[in-house]
Amino acid sequence: MAGRKHSSLDRVLGRLDTLDSVNLANLVQRLARERGLFEAIFNTIHEGILVISVDGTIEYANAAAANLIGLREEELAGATLWRLVPGLHPSLGTLLAGGAAMPVVAREIELNYPQPRIVRLYMVPFQAEGTREKSRRFAVILADVTREKQTTERLIEDEKTSSILLLAAGVAHELGNPLNSLTIHLQLIARKLKKLKADRDAESLAESIAVCQEEVKRLDGIITHFLGAIRPRPPDLAETNAVDVLDEVLRFQASELKNRGITVEAETQADLPAILADRNQLKQVFFNLITNAMEAMEPGGTLKIKSRADDDSVHLMFGDSGVGIRQEDISRLFQPYHTTKPGGHGLGLMLVQRIMRGHGGQVGIESKAGVGTVVTLTFPQKNRRVRLLKSGAT
């Protein structure tokens, strides 16, 4: 073909019939070296590379492809790609049919072994010059895009969450104005009552006003607390004993737990390893989880709290004997305004997740309808977190 450059190897191969045994042996060694060089190059590439025939037989696979698919390189050789990736073959009709304009296709597939991940697959047809149609092959490039997908989804989720929290903060702020007005007018009424002649009716009215003032103060405290919780701000991290913070929250909620007839069984370690945490944000997490557990249980229910630690993390488990959560609802629990409770606002668990992320931690939920729910908080240990920061800085 005009314009094609021939390498010295091409020229040697063209005289293959004229080579003696010594030159033939040298040629074989040279071919082996060149193959080894190309193997080394392909195995340094992070993307998986496959060469397959029209029927899907894998003729070549680099190390990255074997890792992505979860098989050894020798196991891939001769295997059929259509069997390893079910559903791929039916979607490639146009590409496999060939023709004058053979297309390039891209697909995203979800692999579950050796671990769940999303892989983007590019399939490019090629045919060596002078070969027959049935000798057509395809280069398949596999790229792991799991982190890219997760990052994109998280950005979308964070943007949605920020918008909703901004709206909620605006509503809560607006509620403060009528509460301030109520406070002022209740104070004026109370002062005028003091000037009136004291009698039984005046005393009763004064008591009612005092109750109203306390309720307004309580609502103002709830709004202030709510605004402080939902305003996105980085945690003020300090060395913290999570059990000490938990004990403080339990003491604060002791009266409500008693009134609801809820028994608390706490098995926590006093010597639990320290974590880096914002004490106030940690209180918010514990308060929300304990409140959720109380509201999920009938009088006589039990809230079990346990702690444990491993080499890297500190774990706190909150288990209730409540109504449980349906499996189809678990995946939606962290969505804004999704709630399974009558009158619930659906922000509690979303705030818990946001705070835990800010602490480098995780939230896990296991539940069974009619049995109860277990929420597990996982925090990185203080010393583990420091080692990670040092290694990342070098």
More confident residue, 301 or 10: 301
Q: Is residue 96 in a domain?
A: yes
- Same domain for 368 and 248, yes or no, is yes
The residue that leads in pLDDT, 172 or 99, is: 172
Higher model confidence: residue 123 or residue 23?
123
**Tens-digit pLDDT profile for residues 258-301:** 988 999 998 888 788 889 999 988 998 999 899 888 888 989 99
Cα-trace Rg, the chain: 34
Helix (H) or strand (E) holding 303: strand 302-309
Q: What is the DSSP letter of 91?
A: G
CATH of the domain at 167: 1.10.287
- For residue 13, is it within any domain? no
Confidence at residue 319, expressed as pLDDT on a 0 to 100 scale: 92
Does the pLDDT value for residue 182 go beyond 50? yes
pLDDT (0 to 100) of residue 345: 46
Q: Are residues 174 and 137 part of one domain?
A: no
DSSP assignment letter at 4: P
> Are residue 246 and residue 182 in the same domain, yes or no?
no
Please tell me whether residues 354 and 389 are part of one structural domain: yes
Give me the mean pLDDT over the 228-235 stretch.
66
Domain annotation covers residue 262: yes
Last-in-domain residue among 144, 165, 197 = 144
Domain finish residue from 232, 252, 285? 232
Residue 394's pLDDT band (cuts 50, 70, 90): very low
With respect to residue 3, please indicate whether it lies within any of the assigned structural domains: no
- 109 pLDDT band (50/70/90 cuts)? confident
Q: Are residues 265 and 296 in the same domain?
A: yes
Q: Looking at residues 226-242, what average pLDDT do you find?
A: 76
Residue indicated by tokens 């090629």: 126
**Does the bond joining 114 to the residue before it have cis omega, within 30 degrees of 0?**
yes
Quote helix, strand, coil % in the chain, to nearest 5.
50, 20, 30
Do 152 and 134 share a structural domain? Answer: no
- Same domain (yes/no): 241, 378: yes
pLDDT value at residue 112: 66
67 and 123 share one domain: yes
Tell which residue, 123, 113, 127, has the closest CA to residue 84: 113
Quick one: 151 and 291 in the same domain? no
Q: Tell me which residue range forms the domain holding 355.
A: 236-394
Number of domains in the chain: 3
Instruction: Kindly state whether residues 312 and 199 are assigned to the same domain.
Output: no
The answer on 383 and 268 residing in a single domain is: yes
Does a structural domain hold residue 35?
no
pLDDT in tens, 340-373: 554 444 466 878 888 888 888 888 888 888 888 8
Choose one of 102, 119, 144: the last residue of a domain.
Answer: 144
Residue 21 lies in a domain: no
Other beta carbons within 10 angstroms of residue 188's beta carbon come to 10
Contacts of 207-216 with C-beta under 8 Å, sequence gap 24+, read 212/182, 212/186, 213/183, 213/186, 213/187, 216/179, 216/182, 216/183, 216/186
Chain mean pLDDT for the chain: 76
247 and 338 both lie in a single domain: yes
Is 136 within the bounds of a domain?
yes
CB-count exposure of residue 393 (10 Å: 0-12, 13-18, 19+): exposed
- The domain that holds 276 is classified in CATH as 3.30.565.10
* pLDDT, tens digit, 9 for 90 and up, residues 366-384: 888 888 889 999 998 876 5
**Backbone phi and psi for residue 140, each to the nearest 5 degrees, phi listed first:** -115, 125
Please check whether residue 102 lies inside any domain of the structure. yes
pLDDT band, residue 160 (cuts 50/70/90) = low
